[in-house]
């Protein structure tokens, strides 16, 4: 098998008229397809249901992008059965053939790149570049895992002892459940599904309620790539119903979850209970929320810091687990820095995602209510120095918002808001900055802007996060470059897009023969 060395996909920024025209065409073509119905996919069969989940456009919620069939318990039973049936043969496919199937899927994604981006612009309100980054990451996960999977055919080296032959080898676990969030509705769903599949497992995937259409597009691609029936099964539905059912199911071998801390804790608890007939301990992977901080000290390049803060706080409307939601700034540079941050944030254009603004809408009515509630809390807990309002119009639009003078223990400095709201905390020195940065339950991403080598080296050891960035934005981890996953209550540190990720979905067998 000839394999090109893996390199992350470049992310399209639509600077040329040709690229802009491509996107305008894709948006028009996708709009023509609004309102279609998308079935469940169980064992390769397309299954319609009585109930349907409407997926709407957050820039204009009256528009229905598509309807997804809605799975319940009986469909979940059938999907797990189909996944176990497919496992019997998929586990024995030569690794090269499995990897080739994924590489083919990646090629189809590249061919349909603009179209996939356009679906996410409409379905979840990403601007064009955010949508392009999502598709690029999905392609990256697919290629990277296809290649990484090849290494597990090699047997680990063992110590030889006289009179015995010893060998160890890796085997896939079985049929697992993937439960995905809406905020990277293609990339995260793709990575969580194709990682386990790459090394011989099979999967039942439940996308988020708000993004079933882009999930259906991924499954069209997997079918075209020739992934055998039942290896990946698609089960849109409500998390508290079919999601919870799949988690508790005795036939679920592993759970690959990305989402909120609240739901992650429930899953952790339910998955630990032994269901009647269950004969294994479920492996549970949880990648959860963040309350991510950037520290800026008095030695920093303030212009670079202001740029990195604004990019990290407001990219995709702050709806990234990696988003900067706390700015921890040393008193001495507070005023100069804030002047630049406010100036940059004030210029951000907010509007319908299809017009490619800096910021589109927040994702849903639920998000709208959460962000509005925290803005009200913020007005009690800090001084609103920018924004603080929902914008007029039918879409879920908010101004970029900044609260200054926030106490480290304030709710807006401790709880994940998941919206375009930044809390600014002033500290006297770098010791205090690190203490505040580490003073939440989370530990996902973090950043430091400083020219002090000593402080950067200290932060390298003491800043308790899974992904730490110096002198740049804290979002946009690249597959294979910055393995992604948090510390503390941000998750189980699965490290998506990392060289050890696929080990999570394998177990090792050791065989000894006495001569
Ligand atoms: N750490 C990471 O890598 C990462 C990446 C993206 C998003 N996130 C986090 O995800 C959250 C935003 O996503 P969200 O709003 O979709 O999260 P969420 O927890 O509300 O939902 C995630 C998924 O869980 C399902 N679900 C809900 N209740 C369930 C239950 N009781 N049992 C089983 N499944 C259930 C939902 O239907 C959805 O598919 C934020 O907290 C964000 O920080 C984390
Ligand atoms: N991996 C993404 C965040 C995923 C969570 O939302 C990043 O690095 O920005």
pLDDT per position as a tens digit, 441-461 = 999 999 999 999 999 999 999
Q: Is 287 a catalytic residue?
A: yes
If residue 371 lies in a helix (H) or strand (E), which one and from where to where?
Answer: helix 365-381
Q: Ligand 2: which residue has its CA nearest to atom 7?
A: 476
pLDDT band at 402 (very low <50, low <70, confident <90, very high): very high
Helix (H) / strand (E) containing 37: strand 36-38
Pocket test for ligand 1, best of 137, 138, 181 (most atoms within 8 A of CB): 181
In a shared domain, residues 240 and 334: no
Residue 322 Cβ inside 6 Å of ligand 2? The answer reads yes
* Per-residue model confidence as pLDDT tens digits over 124-183: 999 999 999 999 999 999 999 999 999 999 999 999 999 999 999 999 999 999 999 999
For residue 158, being part of any structural domain is answered with yes
Mean pLDDT score of the chain? 98
Residues 198 and 284 in one domain: yes
Ligand lying closest to the C-alpha of residue 475 = 2
Q: Is residue 388 classed exposed, middle or buried when 0-12, 13-18 and 19+ CB atoms within 10 A define those classes? A: middle
Q: Can you give the CATH number for the domain in which 241 is found? A: 3.40.605.10
The reply to whether 483 falls in a domain is no
Pocket test for ligand 1, best of 184, 239, 446 (most atoms within 8 A of CB): 239
Whole-angstrom CA distances from 364 to 238, 268, 322, 404, 422 are 15, 26, 19, 27, 20
Tens of pLDDT, residue by residue over 247-267, are 999 999 999 999 999 999 999
Same domain? 153 vs 277: yes
- 323 CA distance to ligand 2 middle (Å): 8
258 Cα nearest atom in ligand 2 = 5
Which ligand places an atom closest to the C-alpha of 140?
2
What distance in angstroms lies between residue 412's CA and the mean position of ligand 2's atoms?
20
| Residue whose CA lies nearest to ligand 2 atom number 1 | 477
Query: What pLDDT sits at residue 4?
Result: 85
Amino acid 407: pLDDT:
98
Give yes or no for residue 347 having a pLDDT over 90. Answer: yes
d(CA 468, ligand 2 centre) in Å: 13
State the pLDDT confidence band at 58, using cuts at 50, 70 and 90. Answer: very high
The DSSP output letter for 443 is -
Q: 1 lies in a domain?
A: no
Q: What is the pLDDT of residue 502?
A: 98
Report the largest interatomic distance among the alpha carbons of the chain, rounded to a whole angstrom: 80
Per-residue pLDDT, 237: 98
* Angle at 293 (CA atoms; ends 290, 296), nearest 5 degrees: 170
In terms of Cβ atoms closer than 10 Å to its own Cβ (0-12, 13-18, 19+), residue 471 is middle
From ligand 2's centre to the CA of 321, what distance in Å? 6
8 lies in some domain? no
Contacts of 1 (CB under 8 A, 6+ apart): 96, 99, 100, 150
- Which of the residues 12, 287, 298, 368 is marked catalytic? 287
Residues 416 and 434 in one domain: yes
SS (H, E, C) 212-256: HHHHHHHHHHHHHHCCCCCCEEECCCCHHHHHHHHHHCCCCCEEE
In whole angstroms, what is the distance from residue 246 CA to residue 257 CA?
12
Shared-domain flag, residues 91 and 194: yes
Query: Do β-strands 445-449 and 383-386 pair in parallel, antiparallel, or remain unpaired?
Result: unpaired
Nearest residue by C-alpha to atom 2 in ligand 2: 476
Closest ligand 1 atom to residue 490 Cα is 1
Does residue 4 sit within a domain? Answer: no
Position 116 in a domain = yes
Residue 468 inside a domain? The answer is: yes
Q: What is the secondary structure of 46-76 as a DSSP string?
A: EE--SSEEEEEETTEEEEEEEEEE---HHHH
Residue 2 has pLDDT above 90, yes or no: no
Give the atom of ligand 1 at the shortest distance from the alpha carbon of 210.
16
Both 208 and 304 in one domain: the answer is: no
What percentage of the chain reaches a pLDDT higher than 70? 100
Q: Cβ(123)–Cβ(55) under 8 Å?
A: yes
What is the domain count for the chain? 2
In terms of domains, do 132 and 259 share one? yes
Contact 414, 382 (CB under 8 A): no
How far apart are the C-alpha atoms of 47 and 45, rounded to whole Å? 6
Please report whether residue 322 resides in a domain.
Answer: yes
Q: List C-alpha distances in Å: 245 to 52, 80, 206, 266, 349.
A: 18, 11, 11, 12, 42
Q: How far is the CA of 497 from the centre of ligand 1 (A)?
A: 19
C-alpha of residue 495 to centroid of ligand 2, in Å:
11
Same domain, 233 and 318: no
CA-nearest of 262, 266, 243 to 70 is: 243
Same domain, 372 and 474: yes
Atom of ligand 2 nearest to the CA of 445: 8
* CB-ligand 2 contact for 484 (6 Å cutoff): yes
Looking at the CA of 468, name the nearest ligand.
2
Closest ligand 2 atom, CA of 188?
4
- 321 close to ligand 2 (CB < 6 Angstrom): yes
- pLDDT category at 393 given cuts 50, 70, 90 is confident
At residue 60, φ and ψ (nearest 5 deg) are -155, 80
**Ligand 1 interacting residues, C-beta cut-off 6 A:** 179-184, 188, 206, 208-209, 239-240, 243-244, 247, 258-260, 263, 266-267, 287-290, 321, 416, 418, 444, 486, 490-491
Closest CA to 489 of 330, 259, 319: 259
Question: What ipTM is given for this predicted complex?
Answer: 0.99
Q: Which residues pair with 169 in a beta bridge?
A: 509
Rounded Cα gap, residues 426 and 406, in angstroms? 8
Q: Over the stretch 278-307, which tens digit does the pLDDT of each residue have? A: 999 999 999 999 999 999 999 999 999 999
Per-residue model confidence (pLDDT) at position 1: 84
| Local confidence band at 3 (pLDDT 50, 70, 90 cut-offs) | confident
The verdict on 176 and 282 lying in the same domain is yes
Q: Whole domain around residue 361: which residue ranges?
A: 292-478
Same domain? 356 vs 317: yes
CA of 428 to the centre of ligand 2 (A): 30
Whichever domain contains 425, its CATH number is 3.40.309.10
Flag whether pLDDT at 104 surpasses 90: yes
Residue at token pair 């990290």: 312
Same domain, 166 and 296: no
pLDDT of residue 337: 98
Task: With beta carbons less than 8 A apart as the criterion, state whether 177 and 254 touch.
Answer: yes
Q: How far is the CA of 268 from the centre of ligand 1 (A)?
A: 13
CA distance 95 to 100: 8
- Residue 261 alpha carbon, nearest atom of ligand 1: 41
């Amino acid at each position: 098998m000839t394999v090109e060395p893996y390199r992350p996909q470049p992310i399209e920024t639509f600077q040329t008229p040709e690229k802009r025209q491509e996107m305008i065409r894709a948006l028009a073509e996708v709009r023509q397809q609004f309102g279609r119905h998308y079935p469940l996919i169980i064992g390769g069969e397309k299954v319609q249901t009585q109930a349907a989940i409407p997926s709407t456009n957050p820039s204009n919620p009256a528009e229905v992008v598509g309807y997804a069939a809605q799975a319940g318990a009986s469909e979940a039973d059938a999907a797990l059965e189909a996944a176990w049936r497919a496992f019997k043969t998929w586990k024995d496919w030569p690794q090269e053939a499995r990897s080739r199937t994924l590489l083919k899927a990646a090629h189809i994604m590249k061919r349909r790149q603009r179209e996939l981006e356009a679906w996410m612009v409409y379905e979840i309100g990403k601007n064009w570049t955010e949508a392009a980054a999502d598709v690029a990451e999905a392609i990256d996960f697919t290629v990277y895992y296809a290649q990484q999977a090849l290494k597990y055919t090699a047997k680990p080296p063992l110590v030889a002892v006289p009179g015995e032959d010893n060998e160890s080898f890796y085997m896939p676990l079985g049929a697992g459940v993937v439960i995905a969030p809406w905020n990277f509705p293609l990339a995260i769903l793709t990575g969580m599904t194709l990682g386990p599949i790459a090394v011989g497992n099979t999967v039942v995937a439940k996308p988020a309620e708000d993004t079933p259409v882009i999930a259906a597009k991924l499954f069209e691609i997997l079918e075209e790539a020739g992934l055998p029936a039942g290896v990946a099964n698609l089960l849109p539905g409500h998390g508290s119903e079919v999601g919870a059912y799949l988690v508790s199911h005795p036939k679920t071998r592993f759970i690959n979850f990305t989402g909120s801390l609240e739901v992650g804790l429930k899953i952790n608890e339910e998955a630990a209970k032994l269901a009647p007939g269950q004969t294994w301990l479920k492996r549970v992977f949880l990648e959860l929320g963040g309350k991510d901080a950037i520290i800026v000290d008095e030695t920093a390049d303030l212009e670079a810091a202001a740029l990195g803060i604004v990019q990290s706080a407001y990219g995709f409307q702050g709806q990234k687990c990696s988003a900067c939601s706390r700015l921890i700034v040393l008193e001495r540079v507070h005023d100069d820095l804030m002047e630049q941050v406010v100036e940059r944030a004030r210029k951000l254009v907010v509007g319908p995602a299809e017009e490619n603004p800096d910021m589109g809408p927040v994702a849903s009515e639920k998000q709208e209510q959460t962000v509005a509630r925290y803005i009200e809390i913020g007005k009690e807990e800090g001084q609103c120095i920018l924004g603080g309002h929902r914008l007029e119009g039918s879409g879920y639009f908010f101004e970029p918002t900044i609260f200054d003078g926030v106490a480290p223990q304030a709710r807006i400095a401790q709880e994940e808001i998941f919206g375009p709201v930044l809390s600014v905390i002033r500290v006297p020195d770098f010791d205090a900055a690190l203490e505040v940065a580490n003073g939440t339950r989370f530990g996902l991403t973090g950043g430091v802007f400083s020219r002090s080598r000593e402080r950067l080296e200290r932060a390298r050891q003491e800043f308790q996060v899974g992904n730490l960035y110096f002198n740049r934005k804290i979002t946009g981890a690249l597959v294979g470059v910055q393995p992604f996953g948090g510390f503390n209550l941000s998750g189980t540190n699965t490290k998506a897009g990392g060289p050890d990720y696929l080990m999570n979905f394998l177990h090792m067998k050791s065989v000894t023969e006495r001569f």
